[in-house]
Amino acid sequence: MTKIAKSLGLLALMYSVATVAQVSHVSINSRMFELGTYPKMRLNVITDNQDMTRLEFVVHQSTGEEKLMAQQLNRFLILLTGVEDVTDPKALLLVREYRVDRWFEVKSLPVFGADKVPEPQVAEPKFTPNPTVKTTQTAKPVVGSTANIVHTGADSTAMTPTVAAIPIATPTAHTDTTNPAPRAKGQSTLMDAPTTPNAKPSPSTVLASEECVLNYAANETLWRIANRYAAEWELNMYGAMLAIYDANPKAFAKNKINALKKNVTLYCPSKEMLMRYADAGEAKVIFEGKNGG
């Protein structure tokens, strides 16, 4: 009888250990730091046990490990911060859970992600000038009659002036003035003036338009998108995020800079927007103000 009781107790203990595993999902919501700086990130955590003291979050890199400080933002979101700079591009975030009498590792996540990010491709605006059509017509005067001359230009507008029967010699734009060719009497050459195409801004003067869009993956955060484009724009990280936010106000839920919608088109910020946040310190203060609000 004693052996049966011990066996039942052992089975109950093993069952309790198996059912203690409360964490069902862990993923990085957003990484808020770059390689070479101290760790700061938001973590998605779904667990039946709301006691965060039973969870431990550790950054593991080649130089060692650091236990991160955890602040619960809501039921499913945790803010993690540390003090030691992360210099290993292959650093891992280890999630451990305390069960019965020891810690168990329940998740291991790459801090900087394992997926390759596609190279940014910016669509250049296309400019097509209006075509200009030149026509040269030779009018032969007829005594006692009039000639109808039709001018064909870029606007395709027909004009029918009445010309007197007087021989007129009008040199074309390609006439050699040093040795002009003789013309027959009573022969004239009329040429329409070339039409100048409508002036349009060159691509160098226009950086942001609906034809210039940012290329990013569907699961990328604003921080990661700005991290790729900051070097291209020669701008600091916070300035790049603010410029993208200003250029795409409808792409953020409730106008919150930390609530980028998924699968939205992001247009390139203008040069004026980029220059607005050239000062890194000022841009950081503005970003933290918007992020906190």
Q: Each residue of 24-53: pLDDT tens digit?
A: 888 999 999 999 999 999 999 888 777 778
> How does pLDDT run across 206-264, given as a tens digit for each residue?
444 457 899 888 788 898 899 999 989 999 999 999 999 999 999 999 889 988 998 89
DSSP β-ladder status, 77-81 and 40-47: antiparallel
What is the Cα–Cα distance from 141 to 147, expressed in whole angstroms? 7
Query: What number is the average pLDDT over the span 56-80?
Result: 92
The verdict on 141 and 104 lying in the same domain is no
Check residues 52 and 122 and name the one with the higher pLDDT: 52
The verdict on 96 and 165 lying in the same domain is no
Q: Is 208 among the domain residues?
A: no
Concatenating the DSSP letter of every residue in 85-130 gives ----TT-EEEEEEEETTEEEEEEEEETT-SSPPPPP--PPP---PP
Q: Is 3 among the domain residues?
A: no
Q: Is 50 among the domain residues?
A: yes
Among the candidates 62, 80, 110, a domain finishes at: 110
The verdict on 105 and 24 lying in the same domain is yes
The verdict on 97 and 130 lying in the same domain is no
What is the Cα–Cα distance from 40 to 78, expressed in whole angstroms? 11
Least confident of 105-114, 192-201, 229-238: 192-201
Res 136: pLDDT? 45
Residue numbers of the domain that contains 257: 222-292
Number of neighbours of residue 46 by Cβ within 10 angstroms: 12
Among the candidates 82, 110, 138, a domain finishes at: 110
Q: Is 204 among the domain residues?
A: no
Query: What number is the average pLDDT over the span 159-171?
Result: 46
| CA atoms within a 13 Å half-sphere pointing along the CA-CB vector of 170 | 15
Q: How many domains does the chain have?
A: 3
Least confident of 20-34, 71-85, 103-117: 103-117
The verdict on 26 and 104 lying in the same domain is yes
The verdict on 106 and 27 lying in the same domain is yes
Res 54: pLDDT? 85
Torsion angle of C-alpha atoms 66, 72, 74, 75, degrees rounded to 10: 80
Q: Is 207 among the domain residues?
A: no
Q: Is 100 among the domain residues?
A: yes
Q: Is 37 among the domain residues?
A: yes
The verdict on 104 and 140 lying in the same domain is no
Q: Is 216 among the domain residues?
A: no
pLDDT of 178 above 90: no
> How does pLDDT run across 256-286, given as a tens digit for each residue?
998 899 889 999 999 999 999 999 999 999 9
What's this model's pTM, rounded to 2 decimal places? 0.36
Among the candidates 81, 110, 139, a domain finishes at: 110
The verdict on 105 and 135 lying in the same domain is no
pLDDT of 203 above 90: no
